[in-house]
Homo-oligomer: A and B are copies of this chain.
Amino acid sequence: MTTSQATFESLVKDMGEIYALAEIGSVLHWDQETMMPERGVSTRAAQLAELAGVLHAKRTSPELVDKVKSVDSAELDPTQKAAMREICRDVDKAQKVPASLLKEIAKEASLGHQTWAKARKEQNFSLFHPVLERMIGLKKEYAKCLGYKNSPYEALLDEFEPGSELNDVASLLGDLEAPLRDLAERIKSKNQPKVSLQGDYAADAQLKLAKVVSEQLGYAFTAGRLDLAVHPFTSGGTPGDVRITTRVNPQDFQDCLYSTIHEVGHALYEQGIDQSLTFSPLGYAVSLGVHESQSRLWENQVARGPFFSQWIYSRCNEVLGLGEMAYDAFYQAINEVGGSFIRTESDEVTYNLHILLRFELERAIFEEKLDPADLETAWNDRSEELLGFRPPSVDVGVLQDVHWSGGHFGYFPTYTLGNVFAAELYQCAEKDVDDLSAKLVNGDVCELLGWLRENVHQHGRLYRAPELLQRICGHKPSAEPLLDYLEDKFSKIYGL
């Protein structure tokens, strides 16, 4: 063993302690969103702040930084190199960004969230504008600390999508615009009447259905649990304990059902990471885009697809009772292209146009091509071009999303990357898994899950997103599979 290798081993051990402590934060966050009594808020905030302090101190300790510097990556094997890349990323970031700036961002985010909620309620963008300006200023400083080549937005995107080039992401998203606008337009012109799934569905029955479907998809309840949360999320980080949450709308079971499936997609990824990687540098998801590809693949390609939805329809009928609704109507209802003002309520076709809107605007802000004071108008103008409507008010327009209030610039494009990657992966899986459609009709997802486990999940973050996709699909991720998939699926549904 060379000196570099020995130091590397010792670093992995040090980092293991940091990862184990960091994961405590996940448990505390999950608890806060699902279990914590309301009066626990202030002490929980103090606990999280102390934990963050401990982690920052550990990540910036001179001994650790010295070890990182003294490893010569050339002496490591490819897997060790990948691990070292992740260690450096983690330690570098802690070194480069001063704790005082992080605190300021956290403080502004907390204020930002309150102000955003108020401005949204009062439908007044100008209330939010000054807080947004300050947050943008702080995040510019943050980007500067991290460093970038041409645009501060590169540094922000890299936080969520490490290893992806801004220009590549911009091309991918840009390639979607014209075909998706065209597809949405053609669907709209068909004027097809809506099918409603509205009804009266007991919460117990909806949760039972959610559980049945989760288990069928391969989610292991021995390594997780399902609870209620206002905004569904997945809490994970170790394959033995990955918890999902959902919500129940008594009038619309689709919300609980598809929120659950989405989170199950995330959870299957976390549960599928090789357990020997737990608390090691590679034992985590690649990126938000790859994470989202897993949730989207299960939610859309599988559970809103023409095959597995037949199995779901039967379960809905058994558990909830669908009355006179035939499968065809059910299938149309779960795939309705509606042209919603709201991103989170939009369909597979227009969703990515919502994302393109946000991506363009936030990038323009950080590249100083758009003054945040003009954001509302810019939003409305571009909304009209991309989606065909001006939002009637800011609560369903520029103030609809929470992200910017918390300083999460660079996050939005990962949603569309998720859709792009999901289409790429599903196209490959269809080639590799024999009779996938027939299996899905019968609710059998074992081989598909096995394929994802083998190709994506188990590796943790050994490969970065572009490399992972290249290895699996044999080419650089492109918009084509997503466009083909959407064109094919919705042509059939809408008889285009």
A279 with B43, Cβ < 8 A, contacts A222-B38, A223-B37 known: yes
Q: In the complex, what residue of chain B is closest to A242 when comparing beta carbons?
A: B37
User: At the interface, yes or no: A180 with Cβ under 8 Å from chain B?
Assistant: no
Asked if A170 CB lies within 8 Å of chain B CBs, one says no
CA distance A241 to B35 in the complex (A): 10
Q: In the complex, what distance in Å separates the CA atom of A24 from the CA atom of B278? A: 21
The answer, yes or no, to whether A31 is at the interface (CB within 8 Å) is: yes
CB neighbours (8 Å) of A36 from chain B are 241
Within 8 A of B (CB), among A309-349: none
**Also in contact, A241 and B46, with CB within 8 A (given A17-B53, A21-B54):** no
> Which residues of chain A in 1-47 are interfacial with respect to chain B, using CB atoms and an 8 Å cutoff?
17, 20-21, 23-24, 27-28, 31, 35-44, 46-47
Report A215-262 residues with CB < 8 Å from chain B CB: 220-225, 238-241, 243
| Chain B residues in 8 Å Cβ range of A239 | 39
Which B residues are in CB contact (< 8 Å) with A23?
Answer: 43, 47
Q: Is the CB of B221 within 8 A of A37?
A: yes
- Chain B contacts for A43, CB-based, 8 A: 20, 23, 238, 240-241, 278-279
Total A residues in contact with B, Cβ cutoff 8 Å: 38
Pick the contact of A35 from B28, B35, B44, B51 — CB < 8 Å?
B35
Is A50 interfacial (CB-CB < 8 Å)?
A: yes
* CB within 8 Å for A241 and B40 given contacts A54-B54, A225-B35: yes
A35-B35, A38-B222, A279-B43 as given contacts; A20 in contact with B238, CB under 8 Å: no
Task: Tell me, in angstroms, the Cα distance from A225 to B37 when the chains sit together.
Answer: 7
Contact across chains for B241 and A50 when beta carbons are under 8 A apart: no
- Which interface residue of A43, A53, A222, A243 has the most chain B CB atoms within 10 A? A43
Nearest-neighbor residue (CB-CB) of A44 within chain B: B241
Using Cβ atoms and an 8 Å threshold, which residues of chain B touch A51? 21, 24
**Could you tell me the distance between the alpha carbons of A53 and B44 in the complex, rounded to whole angstroms?**
21
Bound complex: CA of A241 vs CA of B47, how far in Å?
Answer: 12
Contact A39 B279 (CB under 8 A): no
A225 to B44, CA, bound (A): 16
Q: Report if A17-B238 is in contact (Cβ < 8 Å); known contacts: A27-B31, A223-B40.
A: no
Are the C-beta atoms of B35 and A47 separated by less than 8 Å? no
Residues of B within 8 A of A240 (CB): 37, 39-43
Q: Which residues of B contact A223 (CB under 8 A)?
A: 37-40
CA distance in complex: A32, B49 (Å): 22
Q: How far is the CA of A35 from the CA of B27 in the complex (A)?
A: 11
Name the CB-closest residue of B to A54: B54
Q: Is the CB of B238 within 8 A of A37?
A: no
Contact residues in B for A24 (Cβ distance below 8 Å): 24, 28, 47, 50-51
How far in angstroms is the closest Cβ of chain B from A273? 12
Which residues in B have their C-beta under 8 angstroms from that of A224? 37
Query: CB-CB < 8 A to A40: which residues of B?
Result: 223, 238, 240-241
Complex: how many Å from CA A437 to CA B241?
A: 50
CB distance from A239 to the nearest CB of B (A): 8
Q: How far is the CA of A39 from the CA of B39 in the complex (A)?
A: 30
Q: Which residues of B contact A44 (CB under 8 A)?
A: 241
The contact sample of 11 A-B pairs, CB cut-off 8 A, is A20-B47, A24-B28, A37-B224, A37-B225, A37-B241, A39-B222, A39-B223, A39-B239, A39-B241, A43-B279, A46-B279
A27-B28, A39-B223 known; 17 new pairs, CB 8 Å cut-off, are A20-B49, A20-B50, A21-B50, A21-B51, A24-B47, A27-B27, A31-B31, A35-B35, A35-B225, A37-B224, A39-B222, A40-B240, A42-B240, A43-B240, A43-B278, A43-B279, A44-B241
